[in-house]
Amino acid sequence: MTAFLWSEFFQQITSGLAIGSIFASLALALVLIYRTTDVINFAQGEMATFTTYIAWSLMNHGLSYWPAFVLTLLIAFGGGVGIERVLIRPVEHRPEIVMIIMTIGLFIVINGLTGWLWGADPKAVDSPFPNKTIDVAGVAISTQDIGTFCVCIASVIVLWAFFRFTSLGLAMRSVAVNSAASRLMGVRVGWMLALGWGLAAVLGAIAGLMAAPTAFLDPNMMLVIIVYAFAAAVLGGIDSPIGAVVGGLTLGVTVNLLGRYVDLVGEELKLPTALAVLLLVLVIRPQGLFGRVIVRRV
């Protein structure tokens, strides 16, 4: 085993935080949908990839980064709302398993569409952040990673503020807690659910645009990331945005450190070990790190 260097240790941590931010961003989208509509959207990653391709197409057709970015978010919002109203609404009251199959079907369709429309070769997507690397005491930190991290933190703060301080956020929260009572209070429940999906799609689009410069845009970009994002979301507490971020960052760092310092684990077992650790946490604390305990009353 090579010598333990502090600079290398911190390098592993910073890299872990960088990739963890991407997990966290996608996990946020998952949490948002779950919290507002009680659905685990397996297609979240594919929706994110699809919207990132749209951004790439726009940029390829001459739009510069920020206009393309904003337009993509708008399209993502529309797409999310549309999917909720057309596909999710009809099966809302069916057993949970049916909803799961619906989102799986969505996953398959969007993944196939992406490959069909744009092909399998990776596309380069520009980053909004300058492509520089700073050296801090032997640890190389790229501005891209700092940017991704900041965007992730900003997202969770904006989301938190939205739920806490705006009437729309309050309405969405009330629908999640008790939709019948909310309806009696005059909340347009249907539109709140659609809004949840729309916002989650926007978050997913942001996650995709953050991921594309380093993960590289190909139809399967989010395939592995969604596994980590799902794990992060559940670890943090499936209904807690803060949990999603903490979960994502923790997972990113843990996988890196496990792979580097625990020789027993080796390359192949990095992911299974991280998942096992995660499941252990869940067995001890089933609601996740920041989740609320649901008490079932008879």
Partner 1 sequence: MTAAVKGVLLAAAVALIILIPQRAGEFRLSQFTYVAIYFIALLGLNILVGYNGQISLGHGAFMGIGAYAAMIFILGREGLTATGANPPGWLLEHGMRPIFAIPLAGLVTGVIGYLFGLPALRLAGVSLALATFAVAVSLPLIAKHYDSVTGGGGGVSLPLPTTPFGWDISTPHWLYYEAWATAGILFLVAWLLVRGRVGRAWRSIRDGEVAAVSSGVSSAAYKTLAFGVSSAFAGVAGALFVIQVSYINPDTFPLTLSILLLVSAVLGGLGSLLGGIFGALLLVFLPIYSQDPPVLHFSFSKQAPSVVFGVFLILMVLVAPGGVAGLLRQVVQPIKIGLARRGSRPSRLAKEE
Partner 2 sequence: MRRKFWLLAAVASFVAVVSLQSASAMTRLEAATPGVTKGEIVLGGTFPLSGPVAGYAPIARGMEAYFKYINARKGKDGKRGVGGRSIVWKYYDDVYNPANAVQLANKLVLEDKVFAVVGTLGTENNQAIRPFLNQRKVPQLLVSTGASFWGLQYKQFPWTMGWQPDYISEGRAYGLWIAKNHPNAKIAVFFQNDDYGKDYVRGLKIGLGAKRSLIVSELSYEVTDTSYASQLARQKASGADTWVAITTAGTPTVRAFATAKALNWKPDTIVLNSVAATEAVMSAVVRSVGADFVNGTISTAYLKNPSSPKYANDATVKRYKTLLAQYGPDGADPNNAFFYYGFAKAYDMIKLLQASGKNPTRASLMAATTRMNWVNPYAIPGVKVKTSRSDRFPISQIKLIRFTSPSWTEFGSLIKGR
The binding site for partner 2 (CB under 8 A) comprises: 2, 5, 7-8, 11-12, 15-16, 18-19, 22, 112, 115, 120-124, 133, 135, 140, 142, 144-145, 213-216, 218-221, 223-225, 228, 255-256, 259-260, 267-268, 270-271
Q: How far is 83 from 93, CA to CA, in rounded Å?
A: 16
| H helix runs in 86-141, sequence order | 96-118
CB of 96 to partner 2, least distance (A): 23
- How many other CB atoms sit within 10 Å of the CB of residue 167? 8
Backbone angles phi, psi at 136, to 5 degrees: -115, 105
CB of 287 to partner 1, least distance (A): 9
Q: How far is 252 from 138, CA to CA, in rounded Å?
A: 21
- Residue 296: contacted member of partner 2, partner 1, none (CB under 5 to 8 Å, by partner type): partner 1
- Residue 262: contacted member of partner 2, partner 1, none (CB under 5 to 8 Å, by partner type): none
- Residue 85: contacted member of partner 1, partner 2, none (CB under 5 to 8 Å, by partner type): none
Token pair of 261, please? 């310092």
Size (the chain), residues: 298
By beta-carbon proximity to partner 1, the closer residue of 67 and 272 is: 272
CB of 257 to partner 2, least distance (A): 8
122 CB burial (10 A radius; 0-12, 13-18, 19+): middle
By beta-carbon proximity to partner 1, the closer residue of 61 and 296 is: 296
CB-based contact 69:209 (threshold 8 Å): yes
CB of 79 to partner 1, least distance (A): 15
